[in-house]
Structure 1
Amino acid sequence: MSDSHESEPIRIDTTTAHSARVYDYWLGGTTNFAADRAAGDAVLAARPGLRYSVRANRAFLVRVVRWLAADMGVRQFLDIGTGIPNENNTHEVAQAVAPGARVVYVDNDPIVLAHAHELLKTTPEGATDYINGDLRDTEKLLREAGRTIDFAEPVALLLFGVMHHIMDEDDPYGIVGRLVAAAAPGSYLVISHPASDLLPATQGEASKRYNQHVATGQRLRSREEVERFFDGLELVEPGLTQWHQWRPDQDDAPPGAITGHSGVARVP
């Protein structure tokens, strides 16, 4: 496991809500604390159907990783903004199809680091690694990921529900551009991003409450703003769409409204 502070004890502040733990609460997980549940409930009060959207985003991850491994032959995955381990983690989905798949996880939440051992269970043929790092330190992230991933070969760059935590002043488009520039032709970029232009009657208030209660703020973006992340790449059908609409399985129809844009694009 790659971690520049792995000799230090993991310090977790349970009094302040953090994004990974709030997300875990919405998913129905148990790795969360009172502050996370209070923040999550405050957002849910403004956006009651949010849990459906969060679960649909997780289902999108499963479909995309399975498709990349089974249909596109991708054998390397860089999962940035991993979150707390749950069902159907990236390595489990990919290695079920391709036992030799190599997966690197990246997150900067100390509680994810505390549970990283769950992400390091791999098939004998494959490999997994965890980097305790920040997406904004892109060069360091790529350097450490290079110990497991060969960037001269195609890799799937997975950004599920993480780019909205990158504020405009931190140059989100530049970050994605540097990731793509490091990837070989035939690689794929996958992004899911909460939307600012869907369900305007509730989404704005929900985002406001999130930023009031959660230490890691968010910046929702419109369809046009999310599409810009894919500039110069080849969007895969059905193009930029809500995440429950990307090649859904028969039983994937969500019972509630979804509020996120998503896309998969090939690096030419």
Structure 2
Amino acid sequence: MTALSTASAHAYPGSPGGEVQIDTLTPHPARVWNYWLGGKDNYPCDRHVGDACQEICPNIVTLAQMSRHFMARAIGYLATTAKIGQFLVVGTDLPNGDDPHTIAQRITPAARVVYADTDPLVLTHARALLTSNTHGVCDYLDADLHHPAALVRGAATTLNFGEPVAIVLRNSLDHLPDQDAAHALQVLLGAAAAGSHLAISHLTGHLHPRPMAQLAGLLTQHCGVPWLLRTPTQIAELLDRLNGGLLDRLNGGLPGGLRLVDPGVVSAPLWRPEPSPWPQRQADIWAAVGCKR
């Protein structure tokens, strides 16, 4: 990230340590996604990269919307059908409408939700805007998937991992290589009780490999974090490691494994679709929900 200067930083109040200095010259993934989703929490540098990505991949805005729409459906499923009352959301994103805790607490007013991220702007906005109702709990954690054990310890101050918890990874695995992603999944689900659920969304290059690879390269270059595309098969294999695949040979696997909820690993618009502005057909954003046995 570029060094901060008076001209390139914006101070946000309200953090535990005082004002937070935000670099407004270096694009940030959450702000770029916020721009694609029509939000206002972004800067010219984010819009510049977002527009460049749209030139390469004109449907990236639709993919971002599909990802958010899937997560809304997944959380609705987790709160109703799976009857989960506590959620760990990794990759908080900037508030932009119907956020996970709002959906969960609309169904279960006493739901407890922990958001985890490491970006100061995301966490500052979350603390200011993502407020719980009077019955539930909404907390914010400075942690990410690179240190899953610390993430679990921090979340455990609000969530009871002895009871089922929903672990929601909103395009978070896109930033981790296979070994780190597999380790993070094993640690998170290994700490969770049987009956816990995992929900993920992930960019792919399944339908449009060349422009999606160019898009991932551009975001990696300008945002300072890697963006990794996986094929649908690679996403399925990553989840299958929790059932005693490669991860079993490396680390003993996950006791009980992970049972995928129908329809399994599919393109996000096809996961239990509801009426939406987009055609119910394959797109380069894939998704899955699974239950720990």
TM-score (norm 2): 0.85
Q: How many residues align?
A: 263
Alignment check: 8 A CA contact 2:202 2:286 kept:
yes
Alpha-carbon distance between aligned partners in 1 of 2:111 and 2:39, rounded to the nearest angstrom: 26
Q: How many angstroms does 1:60 deviate by? A: 0.5
Q: Pairwise mapping of residues 46-125 of structure 1 onto structure 2 (< 5 A)?
A: 46-118=56-128, 120-125=130-135
* Residue segments in structure 1 that go unaligned for 5+ positions in a row: none
Structure-1 separation of matches of 2:59 and 2:262: 27
1:266 aligned partner, one-letter code: C
Provide the rounded CA distance (Å) in 2 between the counterparts of 1:121 and 1:255: 33
- Verify: 1:220 aligned to 2:229, yes or no: yes
SS in 2 for 1:263: strand
Judge conservation of contact 2:201–2:288 (CA < 8 Å) in 1: yes
Equivalent position SS for 1:11: strand
Counterpart selection for 1:183 from 186, 192, 202: 192
Deviations 1:194-222 (A, max 9, x none): 01333124212222222222222211111
User: Partner of 2:21: helix, strand, or coil?
Assistant: coil
1:206 and 2:219 correspond: no
Distance 1:65 1:255 in 2: 19
Aligned counterparts of 1:199 and 1:244: Cα–Cα separation in 2: 16
Contact 2:269 2:282 in 1 (8 A): no
Answer 1 or 2: higher relative contact order, Cα 8 Å, separation at least 6: 1
- How large is the RMSD of aligned CA atoms in angstroms? 1.7
| Distance (Å, rounded) in 2 between the aligned partners of 1:82 and 1:229 | 22
User: Larger Cα Rg: Structure 1 or Structure 2?
Assistant: 2
CA contact (8 A) 2:270 2:280 kept: no
1:236 corresponds to 2:261? yes
Q: Equivalents in 2 of 1:40, 1:102: separation in Å?
A: 33
Does residue 152 (structure 1) correspond to residue 176 (structure 2)? The answer is: no
SS at match of 1:130: strand
Contact 1:164 1:193 in 2 (8 A): yes
- In structure 2, distance between residues paired with 1:114 and 1:192: 24
Give the one of 115, 136, 140 matched to 1:130. Answer: 140
Identity of aligned residues (%): 36
